[in-house]
C-alpha cells in the first residue's frame, strides 16, 4: 500500500486548506483505492492558522466575549489542541484587519486588547502552552492593548493611561507589571511570525505595515517615534532589548511585546505548524507529499509554506509535488527540488471563474489526475 501526504495551503479567497486537501484526497482515492491518504491542513502563520491547527491536532474551538480593534464587543474564538493543554490563538480573530471596514482603519486608534482577552480566557481555563499566529493585524500599538488586558498598568506623565491605540505609545513613561496574571509565569508562548521586520527603523513596523492599516504619512511618523520611545520603556520594564530582534515589528510591534513580556519564541509559522502536527513523523513510509498554494513562483522559495514542506520531505528522501492555481518560474521551482509543478487553472480560464469554489475543486481533481497519468517516476499503488 502506498502513502501520500497532503499538506496544501489555502487557495485564498477560494478554498481553505482543508477543502483543497479533501478535494485532492477524493481524486487520489478514486484513482488508487488502496492508497493511504493523510490530510494535514496547514497555514503559513497568518489568517487560517487557527483552523489549520485545530483540525490538524484534533482540537476544538472555544468562543468567548472580547473586543475588536476599536474596542467594540464581539464574540471571538480560539482553539484548544487535541492534547487538551495547548491554546491556539489567532490574533486576527480579535485584532484583525478583516474586522474593520476600510473607512475604519486607523492604527492610531486600533488596539490589541482583544488578543490579550483571548490569552486571558485561555489562562483561566487552565491552559499554559500557547501557540499564537500574529498575521493579519489591524494594529500598531506595540502590544500595549494586549498587556493591559493581561493586567499591566501603563503610566504617563499625567497618571494611569486607559486609552487604546498607537497614539498612546509616545505618551507612556513606565509600565507596572505587578498586576499581570500570575498564570503567565508558568506559561510558554510560541509565536508564528513570518516577517523579520524590526520594531522600528526603515524596515520597521510603522513604515512598512502601517500604510495598509490606514495610516497617513503624518501618522506613520508619529507611530515610528512612538515605537522608538517604547523600546526604552520595554527595556526598563523587562531588561529585554528588542531593538534588533528580527520579527519584533510583526503585527505592529506585537511580536516584540510577546517576546519581551511573555518570553515568547518567534518562529516561522510554517515551522510552528509542521512541528505541531508532527510532520516529520508523518513522513515515515510516505511515497509522495503534495503541497500547494494559490500562486507558486520564485517567491515560494523565500520561506513560504510549500518551500518549508519541500525541505522536510527532501530530508526524508520523499518527492514533493507542488500544485497551484497559477504558476510561474517553473524552472526555478524544479531546480529547488520539487518533483513537478502543476498549474491547476487552465491557461484560458478567466480568473473570476477559476476563483469559484466549485470550479477550483474541479480544476484540482483534473490536475491530480493529469499528474498521475503523465508521471512515470513516482509509483503509487
Computed from CA positions of residues 132, 134, 137, 143, in that sequence, does the dihedral angle turn out positive or negative?
A: positive
Among residues of the chain, what percentage have pLDDT more than 90?
Answer: 81
Which span out of 16-30, 66-80, 260-274 was modeled with the highest average pLDDT?
Answer: 66-80
Per-residue pLDDT of 101-131, as tens digits, reads 999 999 999 999 999 999 999 999 999 999 9
Please indicate, yes or no, whether residues 55 and 31 belong to a single structural domain of this protein.
no
pLDDT in tens, 10-43: 888 799 888 999 999 999 999 999 999 999 888 7
Distances 78 to 48, 87, 104, 304 between C-alpha atoms, Å: 12, 7, 24, 24
Residue 281 counted as domain residue = no
Q: Is 225 exposed, middle or buried (0-12, 13-18, 19+ CB in 10 A)?
A: middle
* Same-domain pairing of 113 and 8: no
Report the distance separating Cα 324 and Cα 319, nearest Å.
17
- Give 374-377's long-range contacts (Cβ < 8 A, gap of 24+): 375/340, 377/339
Checking if the pLDDT of 57 tops 90, the result is no
Residue 309 carries which DSSP code?
A: H
If pLDDT is split at 50, 70 and 90, which confidence band does 99 have? very high
Number of neighbouring beta carbons within 10 Å of residue 367: 22
Q: Are strands 129-133 and 188-192 parallel, antiparallel or unpaired?
A: parallel
Q: Of the spans 6-20, 298-312, 360-374, which averages the highest pLDDT?
A: 360-374
Q: Is the pLDDT of residue 377 over 70?
A: no
**Are residues 57 and 27 part of one domain?**
no
Q: Which one of 241, 270, 299 terminates a domain?
A: 270
Q: Is position 20 within any domain?
A: yes
Q: How far apart are CA 60 and CA 166, in angstroms?
A: 33
* 181 and 102 within one domain: yes
Lowest-pLDDT range of 54-58, 170-174, 258-262, 365-369: 54-58
Given 270, 299, 315, the domain boundary residue is 270
At residue 17, the pLDDT reads: 87
Cα 105 to the center of its chain, rounded Å: 21
Looking at the fold, whether 12 and 125 belong to one and the same domain comes out as no
Give how many domains the chain has, as a whole number. 2
The reply to whether 292 falls in a domain is yes
Q: What was the pLDDT predicted at 214?
A: 96
Mean pLDDT, rounded, of the chain: 93
What confidence score (pLDDT) does residue 375 get? 75
Least confident residue range of 72-81, 257-266, 272-281: 272-281
- Segment 160-164 long-range contacts (CB within 8 Å, at least 24 positions apart): 164/71, 164/109, 164/110, 164/111, 164/113
Pair 317, 336 in one domain: yes
Q: Which pLDDT score is estimated for 31? A: 94
195 and 228, same domain (yes or no): yes
Q: Which residues constitute the domain of residue 229?
A: 49-270
| Burial (Cβ within 10 Å: 0-12, 13-18, ≥19) of residue 65 | exposed
Tell me if 353 sits within 8 A of 359, measured CB to CB: yes
Q: Are residues 236 and 100 in the same domain?
A: yes
Query: Are 308 and 232 in the same domain?
Result: no
Question: Could you tell me if residue 220 is inside a domain?
Answer: yes
Q: What's the CA gap between 362 and 368, in Å, rounded?
A: 10
What is the rounded distance in angstroms from the CA atom of residue 205 to the CA atom of residue 213?
Answer: 11
Same domain, 124 and 255: yes
Question: Does residue 303 lie within any of the structural domains?
Answer: yes
For residue 163, give the CATH number of its domain: 3.90.1510.10
CB neighbourhood size of 353 (10 A): 12
Q: Which of 235, 270, 305 is the last residue of a domain?
A: 270
Q: Above 90 in pLDDT, residue 303?
A: no
Is 380 a domain residue? Answer: no
Q: Give yes or no: residues 31 and 73 share one domain.
A: no
Instruction: Find cell 487553472 and name the residue.
Output: 345
Residue 277 lies inside a defined structural domain of this protein: no
Do 126 and 72 belong together in one domain? yes
Cell numbers given for 261 = 513580556
Report the CATH number at residue 297.
3.40.50.10350
* 150-189 residue pLDDT tens: 999 999 998 988 889 999 999 999 999 999 999 999 999 9
State residue 216 phi and psi, 5-degree precision. -85, 165
Residue 106 lies in a domain: yes
User: Which of 19, 2, 3, 1 is closest to 294 using CA atoms?
Assistant: 19
pLDDT band at 45 (very low <50, low <70, confident <90, very high): low
Amino acid at each position: 500500500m502506498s502513502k501520500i501526504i497532503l499538506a496544501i495551503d489555502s487557495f485564498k479567497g477560494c478554498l481553505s486548506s482543508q477543502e483543497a486537501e479533501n478535494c485532492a484526497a477524493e481524486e487520489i482515492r478514486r484513482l488508487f483505492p488502496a492508497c493511504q491518504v493523510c490530510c494535514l491542513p496547514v497555514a503559513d502563520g497568518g489568517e487560517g492558522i487557527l483552523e489549520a491547527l485545530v483540525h490538524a491536532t484534533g482540537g476544538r474551538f472555544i468562543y468567548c466575549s472580547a473586543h475588536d480593534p476599536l474596542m467594540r464587543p464581539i464574540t471571538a474564538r480560539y482553539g484548544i489542541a487535541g492534547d487538551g493543554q495547548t491554546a491556539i490563538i489567532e490574533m486576527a480573530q480579535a485584532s484583525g484587519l478583516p474586522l474593520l471596514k476600510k473607512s475604519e482603519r486607523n492604527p492610531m486608534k486600533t488596539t490589541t486588547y482583544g488578543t490579550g482577552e483571548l490569552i486571558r480566557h485561555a489562562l483561566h481555563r487552565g491552559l499554559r502552552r500557547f501557540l499564537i499566529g500574529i498575521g493579519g493585524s489591524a494594529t500598531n500599538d506595540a502590544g500595549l492593548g494586549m498587556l493591559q488586558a493581561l493586567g499591566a498598568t501603563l503610566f504617563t506623565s499625567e497618571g494611569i493611561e486607559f486609552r487604546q491605540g498607537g497614539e498612546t505609545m509616545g505618551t507612556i513613561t513606565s509600565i507596572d507589571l505587578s498586576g499581570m496574571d500570575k498564570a503567565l509565569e508558568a506559561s510558554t508562548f510560541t509565536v508564528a511570525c513570518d516577517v523579520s521586520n524590526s520594531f522600528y527603523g526603515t524596515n520597521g513596523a510603522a513604515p512598512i505595515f502601517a500604510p495598509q492599516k490606514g495610516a497617513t504619512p503624518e501618522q506613520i511618523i508619529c507611530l515610528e517615534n512612538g515605537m522608538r520611545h517604547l523600546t526604552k520603556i520595554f527595556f526598563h520594564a523587562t531588561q529585554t532589548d528588542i531593538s534588533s530582534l528580527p520579527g519584533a515589528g510583526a503585527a505592529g510591534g506585537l511580536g516584540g511585546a510577546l517576546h519581551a513580556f511573555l518570553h515568547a519564541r518567534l518562529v516561522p509559522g510554517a515551522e510552528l505548524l509542521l512541528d505541531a502536527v508532527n510532520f516529520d513523523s508523518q513522513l515515515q513510509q510516505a511515497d509522495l507529499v503534495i503541497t500547494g498554494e494559490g500562486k507558486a513562483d520564485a517567491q515560494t522559495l523565500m520561506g513560504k509554506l510549500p518551500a518549508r514542506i519541500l525541505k522536510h520531505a527532501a530530508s526524508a528522501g520523499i518527492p514533493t509535488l507542488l500544485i497551484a492555481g497559477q504558476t510561474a518560474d517553473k524552472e526555478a521551482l524544479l531546480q529547488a527540488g520539487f518533483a513537478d509543478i502543476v498549474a491547476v487553472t487552465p491557461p484560458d480560464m478567466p480568473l473570476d471563474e477559476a476563483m469559484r469554489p466549485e470550479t477550483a475543486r474541479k480544476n484540482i481533481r483534473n490536475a491530480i489526475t493529469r499528474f498521475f497519468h503523465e508521471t512515470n517516476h513516482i509509483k503509487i499503488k
